[in-house]
Amino acid sequence: MTRKVPSIRYEFRLLLLLSLTNGVVALERLSASFLSPFLVADFGLTNTQLGLLAAALSGAVAVSATLFGSFADRDGRKKSILLIATIGFSLIAGLPALVTGFIGLLFVRMLLGIAEGPVVPLSQSMMAQVSDPRRRGLNMGLLQMAGAYLIGGMAGPVLATYIATDHGWRMAFTASVIPGLVMALALWLFVKPDDRGKVAVMPDQPKPPHAPMLSLLKIRNIRLCVIIAGLFAAWATVQNVFLPVYLVSERGMSPTTMGWVIAAGGLAGLLGGFGVPALSDWVGRKPVMVVCGALMLFAPAAILWLPANPVAMSLAVLIGWLVMGMAPMYIGVIPTESVPPHLTASAIGLATAAGEVFGGVLAPFGAGALADSQGLSAPFLLCLGLAAACAMATLFLQESAPRLVDRDRV
């Protein structure tokens, strides 16, 4: 059944709400990285343990995103599941304030990952259903990146380190509960109720019969998005986990100065999250992914070899992390355009899970072990290799932008 096309007003309202919600997810997720110098000082954590904290959360997200994404495609209650997840992760985000050691912190991060897992696949699927195909890339990029980097990437490191410095890191975790509960209320009030039983049929895609999730891997772009997701997520996660402690312990920056450098990366993600998908709406998904894949080499190289000057380092992170705009492309945009409409949440969940398992579980653990044995420069050398592999994988993508695909069919 073809549904009534939503109004552009509701399209933008949903975009704003889901983008801000994803921003709060990023804030809660990255808080342990922002506060890692304080956690290391209080708990005596090793680099391997820092990697394990990220791995525990990512592993839980991978399982949760896959299961709930598939369930939501079958059941249709996307708003309801998203609302429960938002309330859940908001409350769990404050629990690190109560822990007394590494094991407690590890357990809480796993719980947070379970609660946060459904947010991205459900949000992107909901956004794809209401978006005009001409704005799909832009909308899905803004959803995933604008709030995430405005709240989690820019405001997050500055506010978290400021609160931790003046009031203690436990208070910083406690304060992070509030934004998520505010967004849960906004989602409940302003997102339309679930339209169960009606599958959205996009104007540029027919609806084939239902297929199991494993059949998604028969689609070339899905296989490549899974590979790219793992490599890119590893590249991004390793830098997010180890850059704060690297800047403080190896480059001699204060935690507050480090927070401002990380905030420059947040600005980069915001700009890239808008610019990369929007550009791909016009010139195509593949060429943008190929160029960004090559540019992934810049950030880890600059972090390793630029002088330890806060301004220079901030500029390097600002420029080098513009490629963060690739994330909504391989997680949301390309998978959505490559599968039937009734499998969008499943496809997004599969790409998300791939990024979490390899990029969030295996890579931080391995990078932490490398840092303990070879020094804190080793994770960034690893990122150079990941960047090269990711750039190679983008060369094999098939174009999926509706504007270009439709033109080629004429």
For residue 208, being part of any structural domain is answered with no
Domains of the chain: total: 1
For residue 305, being part of any structural domain is answered with yes
For residue 207, being part of any structural domain is answered with no
Contact 92, 60 (CB under 8 A): no
Size of the chain in residues = 410
For residue 154, being part of any structural domain is answered with yes
In this structure, what CATH number is given to the domain that contains residue 26? 1.20.1250.20
- Tens-digit pLDDT profile for the chain (410 aa)? 444 556 889 999 999 999 999 999 989 888 888 898 899 989 999 888 888 888 888 889 888 888 887 787 777 788 999 999 999 999 999 999 999 999 999 999 999 999 998 998 899 888 888 888 778 777 877 887 778 877 887 788 889 888 999 999 999 999 999 999 999 999 999 999 877 554 444 444 444 444 456 788 889 999 999 999 999 999 998 998 899 889 998 888 988 888 889 888 888 888 888 889 889 988 999 999 999 999 999 999 999 999 888 999 999 999 999 999 899 899 888 998 998 877 887 888 888 888 888 887 888 888 988 999 999 999 999 999 999 999 999 999 999 888 777 655 54
For residue 378, being part of any structural domain is answered with yes
Neighbouring CB atoms inside 10 A of 172's CB total 24
**Secondary structure class of 76 (helix, strand, coil):** coil
Q: Which of 68, 100, 67 is nearest to 84 (CA)?
A: 68
- DSSP assignment string, 8-23: HHHHHHHHHHHHHHHH
Q: Which domain holds residue 85?
A: 8-195+213-409
- The angle formed by the CA atoms of residues 157, 162 and 167, to the nearest 5 degrees, is 130
Q: Which of 287, 289, 283 is nearest to 404 (CA)?
A: 283
DSSP for residue 7: P
Rounded to whole angstroms, the Cα distance separating 329 from 314 reads 25
For residue 329, being part of any structural domain is answered with yes
Pull the structure tokens for residue 108.
């809480």
For residue 200, being part of any structural domain is answered with no
Q: Each residue of 36-45: pLDDT tens digit?
A: 889 998 999 9
- DSSP assignment string, 280-302: HHHH-HHHHHHHHHHHTTHHHHH
For residue 204, being part of any structural domain is answered with no
